[in-house]
Each structure stands twice: as C-alpha cells, then as structure tokens.
Structure 1
Amino acid sequence: MEVTWLALGGFILLAYTLEAITGFGSTVVALSLGALLLPIHDLLPVLVPLNILMSGFLAWRHRRLVQWRLLLVTVLPGMLVGTLFGYGLRPWLEEGAMKLGFGVLILGFALRELLRGKPRGHTPAWMTRLQTGAAGISHGLFASGGPLLVHALAGTALDKARLRATLLCVWFGLNSLLTLAFLLDGSLAPALPRIAVYAPLLALGVVVGEYLHRRLAEAHFRTAIHLLLALCGMLLCYRA
C-alpha cells in the first residue's frame, strides 16, 4: 500500500506541473491516475486540500487578470449549486459506478477536444450557465470540474491569461468548500499526514511548470493532457 501512495506522489507532481502550465487539470489528472490504484473516496481528502495550496498561490500571483464580473455573476453561482448537489450524491453512489462515470466523463471530454478541428464560436449565456452547473456537479462528485468548466468558458471572449487566472479563483473557492465538508464528515483528519508529505511536490510543480510554460508551446501540453485523459478514461471504464 505504501508503494501505491508513493506512486500517487509521482502522479501529483505530474498533475500539478500541468496545472502550473495551463491553469487547470491538476485534480482530474491526479485523480484519474490515482483511481487506478486507490479508491476515489480515499484520494479526494488528499488531493482537494493540496489543490487549495496550488490554486491559492497562483490565483494571488495573477490576481490582476481575474475577471470578477464573470466569476461572481456567472461562474461561482452555477458551480456552487452544482458542487453542493454533486457532493450530496457521493454517499449514494458505489465506487464502481463512480469510476465508470468519471471514466466516461473524462474520455468524452478528451476525445471531443482532440477531434475538434477549429476553435469554438461564442455560446449563449444560458448555455454557459447550464454547462457551468454541470461542471459543478462533476466537481462535487470528483473534485474535478475543470474539464467541463473550461469547455463552458471556451465559448466566451476571455484570452488565455484571463481565463487561467479566473479558473484558479474558482478552484480555490470551491476546493476550500469541499475541504470544509471533508473536515465536517471526518475524512480530512486521517489524510493530513499524507497532505503534509505531498505538499513539497507543489513547489516543485510550480517551478517546473513555470519553466516549461516559458519555453514550450502550450498547445503541445494541452494535446498531451487530452491524450493522457483519454487513456485514463479508457482504463477506468475497463476496471469499473
């Protein structure tokens, strides 16, 4: 079991390096890889508090780029309601069903992005709100609303830098809420020693991610993320 948690450390380093480059994907990558070895219920109380540290630091660093009107009027309300609903569903779902659902979710998102031949046009505001709510449900279930939220906001006029900064604020706020829920349901306390062990990996992920962000094309990393997610989705569906 300790070897399994050691492997999770490698997944965490990879995932948080990717988030330092793109602004999203840390939890979904770490969770999809980690769920091949460990139960999702054991992973979430470790990965979610770690994401608070990463997203909080990066959000503060890029705070001048945050689009507060979009964040407060459109994104946070839908994500908050969806997250509470998704969190409420977790006790009613079996581990196998959660793995299958999560696998289908990330596989569908990854294939959609890999097969897209041209950028999306702007989507109506009501559709953005609907997709944001669906992202919130995914976040409540798996602490991984990033893929769906990025898909929802891809139809807005935000440039890459402002989208990244706004997303980081979302993860900081919602994962703080989820961490409080884990504290109240008793699952956070047993995870604290592992959180402390993995925390230094976040600093390394930021350093490596910032270095790669300056030197390598982001499009190549986005393609790599989607290929990795597609593979993880297929493995999760197979093992569900």
Structure 2
Amino acid sequence: MEFAWLVLGGFILLAYTLEAITGFGSTIVALSLGALLLPIQELLPVLVPLNILMSGFLAWRHRRLVQWRLLLVTVLPGMLAGTLVGYGLRPWLDEGAMKLGFGVLILWFALRGLLQGAPQGRTPAWMTRLQTGAAGISHGLFASGGPLLVHALAATALDKARLRATLLCVWFGLNSLLTLAFLIDGSLTPALPRVVFYTPLLVLGMLVGEYLHKRLAEAHFRTAIHLLLCLCGVLLCWRA
C-alpha cells in the first residue's frame, strides 16, 4: 500500500504539471491513474486539497487575467446548479454506464476540436450557459466537470492565458467547498500528512507547467487541451 502511495506521487507530478499548463485536468488524471492502485475514497481527500493549493496560488497570481463577468454570471451559476442536479441524479443512474457515456462524449468533443482546429468567432452566450450546466451535471455525477467546461470555454474568444486563469478560479471555488465537506465528514484530517508530503511535487509541477505554458504557441495550446481531453476520455472509459 505504501508503494502505491509512492507511485501516486509520479501521477500527481504529471497531473499538476498538465493543469499548470492548461488550467484543468489534475484531479481527473491523477484520480483515474491513482484509482488503479488505491481506493477513490482515500484519494479524493488528498488530491482535492492539493488542487486548492495550486489553483488558488495561480488564480491569485494571474487574477488580472480572470474574466470575472463570464465567471460570475455564466460559469459559476451554471456549474453550481448543474452539480446539484447531477448529485441528485446519482442514486438513479448506473455509475459504470454513465462514466462510459461521459468518456465517449469527451472523446467526441476532443477529436472534433482536433479536426476543426481553432474556433471561429464567438460561441453564443446561451450555448456557453448550456454547456456549462452540462459540465456541472457531470461534476455532480462523477466529480469530473472539467473536460466539458473547458470545451465550452475553449470555444469562446478567450486566449490561452485568460482561459487558464478563469478555469483556475472555478476549481478553487468548487474544490474549496468539497474540502470543507471532507473536513465535516472527517476524511480530511487523516489525509493531511499525505497532502503535506506531496506538496513539493505540486510545486515542482507548477513551476514546470508555468514554464511550458509561457512557451506554448496559441495553436499548440489548443492542441494540448484537446489531447488532454482525449486522455481524460480514454481514462474514464477505461475505468467505467
């Protein structure tokens, strides 16, 4: 079991490097890989607080790039409402089948984005709200709303820096609430030593990701996002 936790460190370094580059993906990548070795209920109280540390720091550092109107008017209300709906649907749906369907949907979005290239023009506001609500539902069902949300925002006119900064604010807010829930149910306290143990890996991943983010061309950044979406979709289908 301790060896499994050591291996998880490599997954965390990879996952948080990817999130520092793109603004999403750390939890779903680390959770999908880590679940091959460890129970999900033990992983989440470790991975979610780690995400708060990185997303909170980077969101504050790049706060001038955050699109606050989009965040407060469109993204957060849709994510919160969708999360409540998804959480309410969980007892009525087969988790394995839903994860498989979700993974296939993400793969479809990602492959379409790779084939179409850069988005042309602005996505209508109603479509962004619809996709954001769907992302919230998937977050409530699977704790994995990132892929659908990033697809919705990647189709807007945001450049790579503003897209990442806005996404980081979303994860900081939602994962702060989730960490509070872990504190209330008692699962956070025993996980704190591991959170501290993995923090240097998070810092390393953040530094490497920041370095790579600055050097990625806009077109390469969009390609990296859709490739990461493909990875997330494959991992979800694998775990279904």
Q: 1:54 aligns to what?
A: 54
Structure 1 residues 20 and 142: alpha-carbon distance in aligned structure 2, compared to 1, 3 A threshold: same
Q: 1:147 aligns to what?
A: 147
Q: 2:20 aligns to what?
A: 20
Q: 2:77 aligns to what?
A: 77
Letter of the structure 1 residue corresponding to residue 210 of structure 2: E
Which whole-Å CA distance do the structure 2 matches of 1:214 and 1:152 have between them? Answer: 23
Quote the offset at 1:21 in angstroms. Answer: 1.4
Which whole-Å CA distance do the structure 2 matches of 1:225 and 1:126 have between them? Answer: 23
On the 8 A contact 2:55/2:172 being kept in 1, the answer is yes
Which whole-Å CA distance do the structure 2 matches of 1:122 and 1:229 have between them? Answer: 21
Q: 2:119 aligns to what?
A: 119
On the 8 A contact 1:29/1:229 being kept in 2, the answer is no
| Structure 1 position 170 matched with structure 2 position 179 | no
| Structure 1 position 100 matched with structure 2 position 109 | no
Which whole-Å CA distance do the structure 1 matches of 2:211 and 2:194 have between them? Answer: 27
Letter of the structure 2 residue corresponding to residue 158 of structure 1: L
Q: 2:201 aligns to what?
A: 201
Q: 2:4 aligns to what?
A: 4
On the 8 A contact 1:82/1:135 being kept in 2, the answer is yes
Letter of the structure 1 residue corresponding to residue 24 of structure 2: F
Which whole-Å CA distance do the structure 2 matches of 1:153 and 1:194 have between them? Answer: 33
Which whole-Å CA distance do the structure 2 matches of 1:102 and 1:36 have between them? Answer: 19
Structure 1 residues 172 and 50: alpha-carbon distance in aligned structure 2, compared to 1, 3 A threshold: same
Q: 1:40 aligns to what?
A: 40
Q: 2:64 aligns to what?
A: 64
Secondary structure of 1:55's partner? Answer: helix
On the 8 A contact 1:40/1:95 being kept in 2, the answer is no
What whole-Å deviation, never above 9, does each CA across 1:139-174 have from its counterpart, x for those lacking one? 233333222112112333322222221111111111
Q: 1:161 aligns to what?
A: 161
Structure 1 residues 193 and 134: alpha-carbon distance in aligned structure 2, compared to 1, 3 A threshold: same
Secondary structure of 2:156's partner? Answer: coil
Which whole-Å CA distance do the structure 1 matches of 2:173 and 2:32 have between them? Answer: 22
RMSD of Structure 2 on Structure 1 (CA): 2.7
What whole-Å deviation, never above 9, does each CA across 1:160-208 have from its counterpart, x for those lacking one? 2222211111111111112122223333333323222212211111111
What whole-Å deviation, never above 9, does each CA across 1:2-43 have from its counterpart, x for those lacking one? 222222211111111111112222222222322333343333
Which whole-Å CA distance do the structure 2 matches of 1:22 and 1:55 have between them? Answer: 12
Which whole-Å CA distance do the structure 2 matches of 1:87 and 1:228 have between them? Answer: 25
Quote the offset at 1:90 in angstroms. Answer: 4.8
Q: 1:129 aligns to what?
A: 129
Letter of the structure 2 residue corresponding to residue 5 of structure 1: W
Which whole-Å CA distance do the structure 1 matches of 2:39 and 2:61 have between them? Answer: 33
Structure 1 residues 7 and 228: alpha-carbon distance in aligned structure 2, compared to 1, 3 A threshold: farther
Letter of the structure 1 residue corresponding to residue 200 of structure 2: P
On the 8 A contact 2:15/2:29 being kept in 1, the answer is yes
Which whole-Å CA distance do the structure 1 matches of 2:215 and 2:154 have between them? Answer: 24
Which whole-Å CA distance do the structure 2 matches of 1:159 and 1:228 have between them? Answer: 18
On the 8 A contact 2:106/2:148 being kept in 1, the answer is no
Quote the offset at 1:233 in angstroms. Answer: 3.4
Identity, % of aligned pairs? Answer: 88
Which whole-Å CA distance do the structure 2 matches of 1:192 and 1:166 have between them? Answer: 27
Quote the offset at 1:65 in angstroms. Answer: 1.3
What whole-Å deviation, never above 9, does each CA across 1:25-82 have from its counterpart, x for those lacking one? 2222222322333343333222211111110000000111112111111111111112
Under a length normalisation based on structure 2, what TM-score does the superposition of the two structures give? Answer: 0.85
Letter of the structure 2 residue corresponding to residue 208 of structure 1: V
